[in-house]
Structure 1
Amino acid sequence: MLIKANLLAVLQTFLALATLATADASIVNLGYAQYQGSVDTVTNTTSFLGIRYAAPPLGNLRWAAPQPPPTISGVQQATTQPNECYQAPLGNASTNPFENSSLSKRAVGQSEDCLFLNVYTPGSVVVASQSGGLPVVVYIHGGGYISGAASLYNGAELVVESNYGVIAVVLQYRLGLFGFLAGEAVKEGGALNGGLLDQNYALQWIQQYISLFGGDPTKVTIWGQSAGGGSVLQHVVAHGGNTQPPLFRAAMTSSMFLSSQYNYNDRIPEIMYSMVVNGTNCGSSSDTLSCVRAADINTLQTLNYNINLGGFYGTLTFVPVVDGSFIVERPTVTLSKGRLNGNSLLAVVNTHEGNILVDQSTTMGVPEFIGNIFPNFGSAQINGAAAMYQNLGSNVDQANLVMSESMFVCPTYYLLEAFEKKAWKAEFAISPGLHAMDIGEYFISYLTGPVFDNSQFITSFSNSFMAMVMFETPNHRYTPGDITPTWKKWRHDSTEMIFNKTSEGAPDVYTSQTDTDLLDRCTYWRNVSAYSVQ
């Protein structure tokens, strides 16, 4: 059995024991650098932390496409967590999972030099000679495209949960102003969607190098939570859904987030670019982008922080845009054409995704709320959306549903529909079912750990993801004691898997039919997606 009653306790003490239970690991020669990881004899895994996959995005490489990493002589010790990319808060928010609330727990600094990834393998040696190699799971962290870091997620836990059947990779990418500054000037003199290009570059790195760690580059699954799930969506629709050569075979999304995705030179991206130009005193420059590139990092980070903080409650300012090359059109348009990268999908949402992005004490009416989160809506779109929710509780209840369904739940259904009969859907329903509460069920050491500390439930929930990685279906029962019923593909009859617990505190995993009223509301949101710019 993979997760016995005492394994959860072992995993929860992993971080404390890791530094005491290490041994020499094999050296991996990447050509441009050699890295030596560390073995954890408690979990029987090897970690390679802080592998540089691209050149530092400094100086002229600010707002440029990622470039090859420099050649480094000697053996690099891959034993400490990398610097995280510069962080920023959510619009006018004090505490929520999008913010990086664990900074005080980790001995990592913030830096522009942050394009690193962590690799976790089974055992004490790299198994480069294994026939075909192991399947690979690539985790893209969430944080609203403005916060988050690889150090939050211990990929060794995924290796253990897979019964040592996968290689895990956790990557970082440029965030906020540094990763998602848009506008005509950035298009002409740099690269749009730098954070997405970083992720894409890391996926290319995996294709080239993961076999050296014992992984199979033809069996890659990309997985992300929140903005990480949104990033997975971006890679599914990248290049009009036809990235060549393919970079992954399967996709998994947890709480996939799709905010408004404007054209790079639309009004709002240009306003934000002007705010950065003015904030760096570059307004009189004949080449504003070069001027901004030369700005002091403290000035840029202050702008990054303040511009994000100044946004409407719960909204994000620096997010992906339609750039015309990597992302050629709004994601819903590409999905509606049935064009997508990847062969199969596992999509999971939480019961109440939107609550953390809504001021729970607001007195704002729902029409006004809708107009604030979708500034391109006219009265027809606002009134049409508000009418769907008018009998669904208080103004706060309605706002919670609007945020949840328009930006998380409904885009997930669009993605499920695009994958047709190769997709499975689940809901994490452990009360209160808020955004990000499911993370601790597969990353046991994440923040406060699992919200439902039950080994049988953790086995059932986490094994669904790892089965998808290894066998391209969540239905493979590779662990005795997995209580999950048989999955049905969502497009067949709108059947979903519900992960919950009984009132007595026992695991309760069962199938359910998708709410048809919810699907009707999703149809409306899809019909107005040209106005919501999704």
Structure 2
Amino acid sequence: MFILSILTLCLAALISALPQLGGLLPGSDPEVTLDYGTFRGNRAFSGVSSFLGMPFAKAGRLENPTLISAADKLSGIQDAANYGKACPQQELIALNQELGGLLGAVEQVAFAPVSQQGEDCLTINVQIPEGGGFELGSSASLGSEATAVQGLIYQGARLVQRSVEMGQPIVFVSANYRVNAFGGLASQEITDAGVSNLHLKDQRTAMEWIQNYIEIFGGDKSRVTLFGESAGSMSIATHMVLNDGNPDGLFHAAIMASGGIGKFRDYHHKQPTFDFMASCTGCGTGDKLGCLRSVDYNKFYNCVQQIPNFFTYSSTSVPWYPRPDGKYLVDSPHRLLREGKVANIPYIIGDMKDEGTLFSVVPQLNITDDADFQSFWKQNFFQDLTPEQIQAFTSLYSQDPADGSPYDTGDANAIGPQCKRVASSVGDYTFEAGRRDLLNYTYALRQGSQKTYTYQQQQSLYLLSQLPGGLLANLTNLPVLGSFHVSDVVLNSFGLVPAALSKNTLNLMSTYIAFVNSQDPNNHGLEGLPEWPTWDPEGKAMFKYQESGPVIIKDDYREEQMEFVNRNADTYVY
């Protein structure tokens, strides 16, 4: 499984374990020998051997990655007991003082600053049962594109432990990849040099590493499931349409949490971001790309911090999404999907109930009426559309707070006159519409032969306040966020909230593991869970995770809004 990051993202790879684990030496600290080095890991988690911070590729700044090989032989035994450096992050807290205490608890848990950062960051982590394993993702950062709190979030050991308890052992793999301007710059200069979409290329290179080496760790390279959240999920959906939809044997199934098929304008649209970086770093004349490659790291990094992130008025309209370049990503993912160029693999795709709330707290401060609401969408997403086209979209979202997000809360939790309207529209456009788009088109293309499942998760903030130590107690003071984006991966997917306390944790981990091993989430061995049907456009069955116990609901909420966006996808691109 892969854990990726774009907004808040996570990309990983879950891999079924082979019957017998080979290549590991016995002892208190596990060792593994690859053709380019010997690595000594740790057994910090009971029953799990972890090999952390192993290099998988080399790349200069704004250069394509090169897969590491035997030619890059490392001398001596390498320390693989700790995570490697995180790829340079776009920090969120310093830029968002206006959030005050409202999102302080969320920032503390999900978007904490990453201390160990650097450009020499293309490292991979493998966590296995002491006998077999599976997965890959983003491990050493959490907050702006590739993010994870070391040893806490995107920590695969608990997933591995749960897989052993189930008798379905997996190997967890997570990998760092370049983000923000280090991995997502798009411009004419970048495209001409053939170095566009470096974040996708880093991820693809990590998948190649898995094919070369995962069997030494006991993983089955023919049973790789990608797993991603947010940007990671969007990245997986994009990988599904790369190379005319041919995965080249790199992955065989996918789990996508909060992110689907993107509707992206090409690289020309983000030329101003490249120009800003060139000007800000003193590279505004001559060979701009060459200058950006060699300019002082701190100068480059500090300029990245000046670009708006998703906790600003720009909301989810950040500049780092994959951009069509005519060669690597030949067109927008939504067009490639419509051309039938999409991988024929089983997948799970789902969303939180209130995807847009986290990205609407700051924008709503400047949106008090319908004119402001239209202006927000015009300025951030649809700069080239006419007022009539803007209104055709915005008019689909009611100004009645009872219709907005957090959903099913009536007039409550409206901290501004347009807040719940903004949250509903941002959540649908950025996350939900792309999920439905992928489901509809893959079903139509394969007439239901492609196994697809979808879900919604509802979060219980009250339960979180009961955790020992009070780590998450303040989350109960955030009803305005509801079941918010990233809370699943931070709290449940990797077991931060223990399965003994949370049905969402137990059920998420168990159904994911079952899917990895059998491509069917129903083979989890738990009692009391409803049968999770595959998705089809008539039944529209959706598995709803909730602490009171999961149920099957119909995936038909806000159909008019999302059908409008998907039907007019070539118009409403960003």
TM-score by length of 2: 0.78
Match of 2:457 among 428, 452, 464: 428
Match of 1:166 among 136, 147, 170: 170
1:376 partnered with 2:421? no
Between stretches 405-414 and 325-334, larger displacement belongs to 325-334
Letter in 2 for 1:533: V
Letter in 1 for 2:122: L
Task: Give the corresponding residue for 1:8.
Answer: none
Runs of at least 5 residues in structure 1 that lack an aligned partner in the other structure: 1-21, 128-133, 502-506
1:271 to partner: Cα distance: 0.8
Task: Give the corresponding residue for 2:523.
Answer: 476
Counterpart Cα distance in 2 of 1:495 and 1:111: 44
Counterpart Cα distance in 1 of 2:105 and 2:176: 16
Q: How does 1:146-157 map to 2 (within 5 A)?
A: 146-149=145-148, 151=150, 152-157=153-158
Task: Give the corresponding residue for 1:504.
Answer: none
Counterpart Cα distance in 1 of 2:172 and 2:264: 30
Change (3 A) 1:319 1:465: same
1:388 to partner: Cα distance: 0.8
Match of 1:499 among 545, 564, 568: 545
* Backbone CA RMSD of aligned residues: 2.7
Counterpart Cα distance in 2 of 1:513 and 1:233: 23
Task: Give the corresponding residue for 1:63.
Answer: 62
Match of 1:322 among 305, 321, 324: 324
Match of 1:32 among 36, 53, 56: 36
Between stretches 187-196 and 97-106, larger displacement belongs to 97-106
1:290 to partner: Cα distance: 0.7
TM-score by length of 1: 0.84
Change (3 A) 1:303 1:103: farther
Task: Give the corresponding residue for 2:487.
Answer: 437
Counterpart Cα distance in 1 of 2:195 and 2:120: 17
Counterpart Cα distance in 2 of 1:74 and 1:454: 44
Change (3 A) 1:104 1:137: closer
Change (3 A) 1:97 1:270: farther
1:249 partnered with 2:257? no
Task: Give the corresponding residue for 1:11.
Answer: none
Q: Is residue 84–residue 150 contact of structure 1 (8 Å, CA) maintained in 2?
A: no
Between stretches 232-241 and 200-209, larger displacement belongs to 232-241
Q: Is residue 173–residue 199 contact of structure 1 (8 Å, CA) maintained in 2?
A: yes
1:323 to partner: Cα distance: 1.9
Task: Give the corresponding residue for 2:304.
Answer: 304
**Residue correspondences, number:** 483
1:27 to partner: Cα distance: 2.5
Task: Give the corresponding residue for 2:549.
Answer: 508
Counterpart Cα distance in 2 of 1:97 and 1:412: 30
Q: Is residue 138–residue 148 contact of structure 2 (8 Å, CA) maintained in 1?
A: no
1:397 to partner: Cα distance: 1.5
Q: SS of the counterpart of 2:221?
A: strand
Counterpart Cα distance in 1 of 2:378 and 2:114: 41
Q: Is residue 139–residue 223 contact of structure 1 (8 Å, CA) maintained in 2?
A: yes
1:159 to partner: Cα distance: 0.6
Task: Give the corresponding residue for 1:406.
Answer: 429
Q: SS of the counterpart of 2:396?
A: helix
Q: Is residue 237–residue 340 contact of structure 1 (8 Å, CA) maintained in 2?
A: yes
1:318 to partner: Cα distance: 2.3
1:461 to partner: Cα distance: 2.2
Q: Is residue 138–residue 220 contact of structure 1 (8 Å, CA) maintained in 2?
A: no
Q: Is residue 135–residue 173 contact of structure 2 (8 Å, CA) maintained in 1?
A: yes
Change (3 A) 1:224 1:203: same
Q: SS of the counterpart of 2:432?
A: helix
Change (3 A) 1:175 1:482: farther
Task: Give the corresponding residue for 2:123.
Answer: 116
1:208 to partner: Cα distance: 0.8
Counterpart Cα distance in 2 of 1:474 and 1:104: 30
1:258 to partner: Cα distance: 6.1
Per-residue CA deviation, residues 395-428 of structure 1 (Å, 9 max, x unaligned), is 2221111100001011011122233231111110
Change (3 A) 1:371 1:306: same
Q: Is residue 367–residue 376 contact of structure 2 (8 Å, CA) maintained in 1?
A: no
Q: How does 1:271-282 map to 2 (within 5 A)?
A: 271-282=272-283
Letter in 1 for 2:227: W
Of all paired residues, the percent bearing the same amino acid is 24
Q: SS of the counterpart of 1:276?
A: helix
Q: Is residue 89–residue 144 contact of structure 2 (8 Å, CA) maintained in 1?
A: no
Change (3 A) 1:23 1:377: farther
